[in-house]
Amino acid sequence: MRRSLVVGNWKMMGSRAGVTKLLEELKGYLVASDRASIAICPPYVFLPQVSEDLRESGLRWGSQNLSQYDEGAFTGEVSASMLKDFGCDYTIVGHSERRSLFGEGDADVAAKFVAAQSARLTPILCVGESLQQRDSGDALEWVKQQIIAVVDVAGIDAFADAVVAYEPIWAIGTGKTATPEQAQQVHAHIRGVIASLHPGVADSLRILYGGSVKADNASELFANPDIDGALVGGASLIAADFAAICRAAE
Ligand code: PEP
| Sequence ranges of the domains in the chain | 4-249
Q: Give the chain's residues under pLDDT 50.
A: none
Q: Cα of 130 to ligand 1 centre, how many Å? A: 14
Residues tagged active-site: 95, 167
Spatial distance between the Cα atoms of 132 and 129, rounded to a whole number of angstroms: 8
170 is in an annotated binding site: no
pLDDT score of 150: 98
pLDDT score of 32: 65
Cβ proximity of 94 and 112 under 8 Å: yes
**To which CATH superfamily is domain 4-249 assigned?**
Aldolase class I (3.20.20.70)
3-state secondary structure (DSSP) of residue 16: helix
Q: Cα of 186 to ligand 1 centre, how many Å? A: 17
Angle at 176 between CA 224 and CA 105, to 5 degrees: 85
pLDDT score of 103: 97
212 lines ligand 1 (CB under 6 A): yes
Cβ proximity of 9 and 237 under 8 Å: no
231 lines ligand 1 (CB under 6 A): yes
Single-letter amino acid code for the residue at 96:
S
pLDDT score of 1: 80
Spatial distance between the Cα atoms of 40 and 124, rounded to a whole number of angstroms: 12
The pLDDT tens digits for 31-44 are: 766 678 999 999 99
pLDDT score of 145: 98
97 lines ligand 1 (CB under 6 A): no
Q: Cα of 94 to ligand 1 centre, how many Å? A: 13
* List of long-range contacts for 212-215, beta carbons under 8 Å, 24+ apart: 212/171, 212/172, 212/173, 212/174, 212/175, 212/176, 212/177, 213/177, 213/245, 214/177, 214/241, 214/245, 215/240, 215/241, 215/244, 215/245, 215/248
232 lines ligand 1 (CB under 6 A): yes
Provide the β-strand partners of residue 208: 165
